[in-house]
Chain A
Amino acid sequence: MTATAVHTLPELGPTRPLTIPPAAERTLSNGLTVIAIRRPAVPLIEARLRVPFAGADLATSALMSNTLFSGTSTMSTVEIAAELQAVGGALGSGVDPDRLMISGNSLASGLDRFLEILAQVLTDANYPTNEVETEQARLIDRLQVLQSQPSHLARVALQRRMYADHPYAVQTPTVDQARSVERDTLLALHRDRLHPTGGHLILVGDLDPDTVLDVVERRLGGWAGAGSPVELPPTPALVAGPLVLADRKDSVQSSLRIALPAVSRKHPEHAALQLANLVFGGYFSSRWVENIREDKGYTYGPHSLIDHSIAGSALLVSAEVATGVTAPALVETLYELGRISTKPVEAAELEQARQYALGTLQLGMSTQAGLAGLASTYAGYGLRLDFLAEHSERLASASLADVAAAAEKYMGPAKGVVVVLGDADVVGDSLSAVLPVTVQPSTSA
């Protein structure tokens, strides 16, 4: 060493203010709400079109999302893709139990053409028989691959256990359901549900927000259709009970999942619960991650997050752990949940979590794609980007007592729904020493 000086951690500079980028919003006469946000850092645009899709048939909506760009009365699949590429663009879509989301991006100079193609698809997608057959076979293949993935099998087992009779209990169609979808049902679903009313189009990028609203009005103003909104009932309260052990023979890891109650983004306790979750296990420098990864070496990427859906929120704890340490990993997890829900949080722990929550808000807004994702998610909950300022204030002002109260109310291990996907013959006995266990075969949908 040429120097033996002790180097000390530098102080942080003054906090940068949270700046919401310039935006404009208009609800078109067809009922579509358009939000245009300016971030000109790179000469591109990002688009997110979010259409409420609650209650739509799983298999039909999955296949529809895969065939939406498969042809119009004037363009083929290949022509749609080629025309988008010509302006540096691409479009794709996906569905979940709340919404259908069309996502894409293009060169900023191609925005008008990009919207023109989007409008043609929305108003004239005709689901050609041959393309539907192709995509149906691909969907079935994808479902089979999905069913071989432990992350999917664990999610399926957890959702069934959490949601009982609620529509969220099953979120993936079966192969048989996918096989039975016909072209007519796709056309009917498009006609009945792919409407501008209640939808949100977010455009972010190198654009002038006011001018862009006019461009969108011209291109998408002719998209018509309306129906009564479908609202799902609120998710049922979690009912604690025996640990569900979903059997997966020869699994070299166990997938540990715990669901706990949580509150929506707008709830007054949300910021405090978010901070409590961070201290517990919501980021790397948390008690749980430091315990089961950095101390014990049980796992690689444990994580804990608050998952928001329209009909309810939940706190989800997830870790893939070596089969041989499944029960000890569960014990440490229950311990850390018990600790956060009954013992005080240290001031330094809270400050660290608070800085992380505030800083990552800034990071999330620092790209076009990040802004587009945030704005479209918020729009689905009736929020706008200015909610970030409000949420930041709540994060900044949450006290130790607020965080402790939220942890006690929502994070106690007695409130948890516990699911483990793993080899029941190997892990069953030791898990039974920790909690009552019900073994079930692993099911795929």
Chain B
Amino acid sequence: MAIEIPRTRYPVERFTLPNGLRVVLAPDASAPVVGVAVVYDVGIRSEPEGRTGFAHLFEHLMFQGSANLEKLAHFRHVQGAGGTFNGSTHLDYTDYYETLPSNALERALFLEADRMRGPRLTEENLRNQVDVVKEEIRVNVLNRPYGGFPWLKLPPILFDTFPNAHDGYGSFVDLESATVEDAADFFHRFYACGNAVLSVAGDLDVDAARALIEKHFGDVEARPAPVRPDFSEPDLTGERREIYTDRLAPLPAVASAWRVPDPAVDLAGYLSYVVLAEVLTDGDASRLVERLVLKDRSVTSVGGYIGFMGEPFEVRDPTALVLQSHLPPGGSVDRVLATVDEELDRLAHDGLTPGELSRTQARIATQLLRDNDAALNRALRMAVLEQQRGTQTLAGTDISGAALLNELPHMLAAVTEEQIVAAAATLRPERRASIEVIPGAGAGAQAPAAAEGDEQ
């Protein structure tokens, strides 16, 4: 008998300030800490041509001082209150966040409100952060094996338009071309408070937190959200496959992507792919690990997930189910791809084995609940859900985007075998884009190609 999927009941409070800032609160006093997140509805897809990497560079500039704060002050005030901070740039959003002991909540709200009024954009700070970002790209992409694989390497094969296909870390040429004026325009256009969601989770009193939010954010200039461009692209009509040499990689690798339904239009259909990815790759009892790793030994590892940044609940259309494998020396990518096709066919024709779906759903529930144990993770997830997912009607009840936080484990547990089979049947070779890594390092490796030359 399948184990019962438990439910979280974080209370979710939502309101909008007169200036258009949307706010979500989720009190939970199980630990004396809070997570504070501000999510802006702008990401890699929105950066202009000739400015690859700009959304991320701009994220760095949001830490360089603001209306009432000198450079370095933000870091010192968060950490001097016992907290930690960061920000990150994604395809469809950019987040800024702190987690702190709950006695520092007001300080965090002050800091986020201050940079929502405007960062201090100076030539000196811009040049400094271009240098820092170049080191970030070197450490994460250029100086290590499999850098940018597959998240930077696969989108240009699956997609044709600049917003979806380009390198979100950016070329060094584009980064160096960025100007203070570009940054000011970007801020004015995308960092409107009408384009943001503020979220606070953890040890808070709703009324007191609301009063503090009104105090600190109430006088932030009202600017409406820009119209979000249409980033849609048609599905592939034929298989695409490309190859590059990674001069540092010792072993072959391959990643494939297939488009999945738009979660804004068909959330239930989309979630069946989220579960399918786990049926295929979560642990030693999953389909592809059992077949490719344990039985055939044709791969050393295999992973599967939705979205190029591995965040199924934080991405909009167009997105994809991604499967990636590392192969043993001399391994055959053709054979791996053919075996994946065979396993998908088998799933589509023979269905699941008894218990296979329910155990996968139980494990998904654990992983979601585990993420949500951290106040900061709840704050981030709620904010993005509020921004990207409108109110859903579930069993006749309206559920806000933020409140999906409590519903996701059960929505994923409601995915049926029929849905999994139908989803598997869509993962056909002719809808697939693949990227293959040729190892350029070690004995017998081919001469290094200029695979990452555009970064240099």
Contacts and interface: CB of A to CB of B under 8 A. Distances in A.
Interface residues of A, number: 88
A134 B297 contact: yes
Given A320-B143, A359-B83, A145 B373 contact: no
Q: Ordered nearest first, which 3 A-B pairs have the shortest CB separation? A: A359-B82, A297-B131, A13-B103
A141 interface: yes
Contact of B363 (A89, A141, A253, A321): A89
A7 interface: yes
Interface in B334-387: 355-356, 358-360, 362-363, 365-366, 369-370, 372-375
Nearest to A148: B145
Contacts of B106: 10, 13
B84 A148 contact: no
Given A41-B373, A368-B373, A142 B79 contact: no
Contact of B370 (A144, A296, A369): A369
A297 B363 contact: no
Interface stretch (A212-220, A339-347, A348-356): A348-356
A3 interface: yes
Given A16-B32, A320-B139, A321-B135, A107 B294 contact: no
Interface string A74-107: 0001111110111111100000000000000111
Interface string B283-296: 11110001001100
A109 B3 CA distance: 8
A150 B135 contact: no
Contact of B84 (A6, A87, A363): A363
A245 interface: no
Given A42-B372, A298-B131, A366-B33, 13 more contacts: A2-B222, A12-B81, A13-B102, A13-B104, A16-B102, A44-B373, A82-B359, A88-B362, A88-B365, A144-B329, A145-B326, A298-B135, A363-B101
A106 B81 contact: no
Contact of A284 (B32, B75, B293, B300): B75
B151 interface: no
A228 B110 CA distance: 58
B237 interface: no
B132 interface: yes
A83 B136 CA distance: 41
B442 A253 contact: no
Interface in B275-308: 282-286, 290, 293-294, 297, 300-301
Contacts of B114: 7
Nearest to A144: B250
Interface stretch (B64-72, B224-232, B262-270, B426-434): B64-72
B241 to A, nearest CB: 23
Contact of A10 (B110, B221, B283, B375): B110
Contact of B6 (A109, A134, A148): A109
Interface string B105-148: 11100100110010000000001111111111011001111100
13 contacts: A12-B107, A13-B106, A81-B283, A85-B283, A137-B297, A137-B328, A142-B300, A148-B249, A253-B143, A284-B79, A297-B127, A297-B130, A352-B76
B48 interface: no
B441 interface: yes
A295 interface: yes
Given A42-B373, A321-B135, A77 B284 contact: yes
A290 interface: yes
A252 B135 CA distance: 9
A293 B101 contact: no
A385 interface: no
Nearest to B137: A300
Contact of B219 (A2, A15, A87): A2
A313 interface: no
Interface in B72-107: 72, 75-77, 79-85, 99-107
A262 to B, nearest CB: 21
A360 interface: yes
Contact of B3 (A40, A86, A250, A352): A86
A242 interface: no
B117 A1 contact: yes
A403 B367 CA distance: 42
Given A81-B284, A285-B75, A355 B110 contact: no
A79 B356 CA distance: 11
Nearest to B134: A322
A180 interface: no
B64 to A, nearest CB: 8
A141 B251 contact: yes
B109 to A, nearest CB: 8
Contacts of B447: none
A84 to B, nearest CB: 8
